Structure 1
Amino acid sequence: MTAAGDRHTVAEMLTTAAELDALGRDLVRMFGDDRVSRSEPDLAAYSRDMWPRLLLSVRDGRPLPHAPHFVVWPETEREVVAVVRLARERGVPIVPYGGGSGVCGGAVPVRGGITVDLKRMTAMSAIDRDEMLCDVEAGINGERFERALAARGYTFGHFPSSIYCSTVGGWLATRAAGQMSTKYGKVEDRVAGVTLVTGRGELVRTDELQRAITGPNWTQLVLGSEGTLGIITSARLRVSLAPELRLLRGFEFDDVAAGVEAIRRVMQRGLRPAVVRLYDEADTFFHSLSTRSDHSGDTDPRRFAPAPPPGAGALPDVGVRPPETDRGRRRGLGRALSALLAGNADGARKAVRRELVATALARPRLLNRLATAIVDRVSRKGCLLIIGLEGSRIRTEIEAGLTFAELARAGGRDLGEEPGRHWYEHRYSISYNMSKAFAHGVFVDTMEVAATWERLMDLYAAVRAAIANHAAVMAHFSHAYPEGCSIYFSFAGYGDTREEAERVYDAVWRDGLAAASRAGGTISHHHGVGLLKADAMAAEHRDAMTVLRAIKRTFDPDNIMNPGKLGLP
């Protein structure tokens, strides 16, 4: 175990240096020297997840405000029980850690303590072919899990954009949703039971409790708890047969409202497409810039070409560049234009594009009005709907025919398979472009909210207007249900300095979530709460927070489990 200079604030220091050394010795006896770390690089790596607000500091090379005192890598359930009991005995916080792909600060160790990385717990059982169940440990990587199932002829049906870098445990802790959730459900719909090590250091297996049928659903109590009640070490998951056929399609609608109405009609007719993604006018326009055709391809609903592996060719080439002041941007643009005139065309074009993006994002209201005008005047494509169905061949063909006919009756124009196939082949690419944006001084993020159908358009208008005051924004509708749908807002903003960028970022989230609440929507659909939405969750749940705090005290009486998350102390 490598010691390092302590860089925690006085408020974060829970123990004296001697007590920390004693705790370190106990951890080494428990895990061995190679599975315990106090090294500075490890503590820095585990001081954050992928919360974009923290990436602003990372971009500037600034130390983050919170870091663990130790990182440990358990390999067995027994070791997880042991470390939780030790932490409780010493009064030291525990933060569970999976892939670190969360975007809400859920893995940030706000009080230091021990970060427990579960990625060495990756066991996967044989599939129970009679019950269609599979036992897996929480640290297994999502992509590897899905590929292992596919090799046996099955699928979990859960395809989040983070599938390459997230874990099953992280999915369960945040009640995640995948790109095909309209058919397969959110992750909580795919879980038969979990094993949890509570903050008391006790082992609870909810699948055994569920067999009794009576009483509360203990599994659902644990899902979405974000490590505040304990550490999920394994789960019993429901799997499905791998699809025999997958059909993907594009439809065009005159506007967002028409597309939303079409989705409602499909869902309330009892049809269950796997993929439902309706892009608003701005998102449709920018989506069209990246497609390879004019969407006038084949219209045979039975055609499907296999896609390459998720994310293939999507890794960007990122350079690091600090943000500039407004005067610096003007100078940078001038240098870029001079280079262009001097004949350095390729480099100059990139520089001009970079400077123009920064300048535009510094004026979000103007940029959003300009984008709307461009879409209205230049694009006549309306709104693009990607629809996809999969499953057994006969059922999929029948359901596709019914779905496509319903969309046509609702005013949709069939664009053939090309839009759907293009989306499928590139559906993970966007996740690999975020660091490129941050390197250019821009921040990007997404806000996912949801509402019933009657409130959905009001929710869209309210949240979009709130975000547009601070950042460039566009949206798509996905994860549909008979009673409603979620909306996924993508936004990009800018600040001359890190502090200014943080101010703009905070304003986007403050105003956006407030608008969602006023419109009758929920503040989150599948990204979780963490630190980012903690206050908003407390306001949304109101009196129910009293019940949550009581549950927290029962599972974790000493408040050592991931403190500060879900609006809890």
Structure 2
Amino acid sequence: MSDIATVVDLLTDALGADAVDVDPASLASASHDTWPVSTKWARQDEHPYPADVVARARTEQDVVAVLRVADETGIPVTPRALGSSVTGQPLPTRGGIVLDVSGLVGPHSIDEIDMTVTAPAGTNGGELEDALNAAGWTMRFSPQSLYRSSVGGWLATLATGQFSSRYGGVEDLVVGYRVVLADGEIAELTASPRAAMGPDLRRLFLGSEGTLGVITQVTYKILPLPADQRLQAFRVPDVPAGLAIMREQAAAGLRPFLLRFYDTDEARHAMADPGFDGPVLFVGTEGEPAVAAAEMGVLTEIAARHGATTLGPEPAAAWMGRRFDFSTVEKRLDTPGGFAETIEVAHTWRHIHGLYTDVKAALAPLADEVLVHFSHVYPQGTSMYLILLGQVADDAAATARLEEIWATAMRVCLDHGAELSHHHGGGLARSPYSRRSLGSAHRVLRRLKHALDPDALLNPGKLGL
């Protein structure tokens, strides 16, 4: 590996001095994301994974140049966009270059005939969605981080959105993309609209977290804005009843755009009512008015069969208005000794209630509140999202508690055979558990890594690699 001064000189020659940064404040900023553990490190002025240099790409050719410098010098490269990861994905575990791709921005292109939008990978997702809405279109992709995340980052982390029960995850949204490989070669992966010429190579880099290549441009599906929307909230007798409603509607082939079921502890937050005394289900349908009305009617019948009663549309509408608000977690983390964490997992219908019971019991002694909701539904099962809030003596104790929470949650999930991540990806938080979670499939991942990045320079330390 070359010394960092040589690398800085090569990067400066390739990108220009204004795109290469070794300022200590910049390096510190590039060495953290919004993972609560990393947030607590930053509050204590601790930087366990410091970058050596930040290289800011403004074009695809800049990305090519950086990866060729890395290939030539043997220095690791950690891609980073808007830094909204909550699991430590863009933290440079071996130092080296942090490749900032948030500057890959510029005009987007809407194809109204084929119903697609193409944009540079660093484009802010919320800004793109706003521009599409102004033109009468939508991606209908709505992660809580919509206005904090990039459209390329969605692919790299295999993200999904709050409306996935109707529109699916990013794997259902993507049409094609461009990626720069470890040696600087550019590959374009697409299908028009579907292809059966060998494996679906578009899937190869989805969820790879920058370990196999750097995404530079994306093309996503778009739809006309929905003509109608219906909302409803239901009081539900208990958690098994709520899960039964979700399973039955999935089996019936319904496609509500909104389907969020909260246990009693989180229902108090969802309803903004500390005295609310039971689980609650928020439902939304949309599309052509007759279809949206019919789907809501069937959903209401299914809910009633399981003992649910209607509360009106207002609670669900209120949630729609604040669905991007992350302030509860942020405020707690910004308090000395305060801690907050979000962990999302998934399991089948057969096993999800047992997982819920055991993981909540295991985590209860570690936090003041353990809140749970189920919000992404499939014919075979559902995701489960945990929010933990608590207070300890100081930030050092909070860091230790967060690490204990992760170890406990992952142990219980592995014991249950659950998916360790539904949509936040692996990052540093889950990397130690990746091999056990993936089992024999991890051997395939390792072989892909060796083939595409034989010197292991791209985002080392993630996905158990």
Same fold (TM over 0.5): yes
Partner-residue secondary structure (3-state), 2:165: helix
C-alpha distance in 1, partners of 2:203/2:377?
Answer: 21
Instruction: For 2:160, give the aligned amino acid.
Output: A
Contact kept in structure 2, 1:124 and 1:134, CA below 8 Å = no
SS at match of 1:224: coil
Q: Secondary structure at the match of 1:72?
A: strand
How far is the alpha carbon of 1:209 from its aligned partner?
9.6
**TM-aligned CA distance change 1:239 to 1:124, over 3 Å:** farther
Q: What is the SS of the residue equivalent to 2:204?
A: helix
| TM-score normalised over the length of structure 2 | 0.96
- Counterpart pick for 1:480 among 371, 377, 380: 377
2:241 aligned residue: 258
Q: Which amino acid letter does the alignment assign opposite residue 229 of structure 2?
A: R
Alignment of 1:117-516 (within 5 A): 117-207=100-190, 212-288=195-271, 290=272, 379=276, 381-429=277-325, 431-440=326-335, 441-471=337-367, 472-516=369-413
State the one-letter code of the partner of 1:534: S
CA deviation map 1:469-515 (0-9, x unaligned): 21131101111111111010100233324333222212211111111
Deviations 1:26-80 (A, max 9, x none): 21222222211111111111001111111112223x2311221111221211221
Aligned residues: 463
* Cα distance in 1, alignment partners of residues 193 and 297 from structure 2: 38
Identity of aligned residues (%): 37
Indicate how the Cα distance of structure 1 residues 479 and 497 shifts in structure 2: closer, same or farther if over 3 A, else same. Answer: same
In 1: Cα distance, 2:401 partner to 2:57 partner: 40
Matched, 1:55 2:39: yes
Distance 1:504 1:68 in 2: 26
Q: Which residue of the partner structure matches residue 49 of structure 2?
A: 66
How far apart, in 2, do the equivalents of 1:556 and 1:563 lie?
10
- The corresponding residue for 2:14 is 30
Cα distance, 1:182 vs structure 2: 0.6
Tell me if structure 1 keeps the 8 A contact 2:109–2:119. Answer: no
1:239-298 residue CA offsets vs partner (Å, 9 max, x unmatched): 11111112111011111111110111111101000111111011112333x25xxxxxxx
Letter in 2 for 1:83: V
Looking at structure 2, the residues matched to 462 and 495 of structure 1 have their Cα atoms a distance apart, in angstroms, of: 24
The equivalent residue for 1:358 is none
Q: Distance in 2 between matches of 1:156 and 1:541?
A: 31
- Deviation for aligned residue 1:212: 4.8
Describe the superposition over 1:338-385 as per-residue Cα deviations: whole angstroms up to 9, x where unpaired: xxxxxxxxxxxxxxxxxxxxxxxxxxxxxxxxxxxxx9xx64x42110
After the TM superposition, list the runs of 4 or more consecutive aligned residues in structure 1 that deviate by more than 3 angstroms: 208-212
2: distance between equivalents of 1:87 and 1:501? 37
- Note if contact 1:279-1:383 (Cα within 8 Å) is conserved in structure 2: yes
Secondary structure of the 1:71 match is: strand
**Structure 2 Cα separation of the partners of residues 209 and 159 of structure 1:** 24
108, 114, 120: which one aligns with 2:91 = 108
1:410-454 residue CA offsets vs partner (Å, 9 max, x unmatched):
32101111111111112122x123332123221101110111111
1:41 is matched with 25
> Which amino acid is 1:56 matched to?
K
RMSD: 1.7
CA distance in 2, matches of 1:484, 1:446: 20
- Point out where structure 1 has 5 or more consecutive residues left out of the alignment: 1-13, 292-374
Aligned equivalents of 1:201 and 1:454: distance in 2? 46
Deviations 1:98-119 (A, max 9, x none): 1100011100011111111112
What residue identity is the alignment partner of 1:187? V
What residue number does 2:69 align with? 86
**How far is the alpha carbon of 1:210 from its aligned partner?**
8.2
Which stretch has the larger CA shift, 440-449 or 225-234?
440-449
2:115–2:221 contact (8 Å) kept in structure 1: yes
In terms of fraction of residues, the more strand-rich structure is 2
1:209–1:199 CA distance, 2 compared to 1 (3 A):
farther
- Cα distance between partner residues in 1 of 2:455 and 2:417: 36
CA contact (8 A) 2:175 2:220 kept: yes
1:58 and 1:64 in contact (8 A); partners too = yes
Q: TM-score, normalised by structure 1?
A: 0.79
| Cα 1:188–1:208 shift into 2, 3 Å | closer
Higher Rg: 1
Distance in 2, matches of 1:556 and 1:234, equals: 20
Q: Secondary structure at the match of 1:546?
A: helix
Q: In structure 2, what is the Cα distance between the partners aligned to 1:209 and 1:229? A: 24
CA distance in 2, matches of 1:391, 1:89: 53
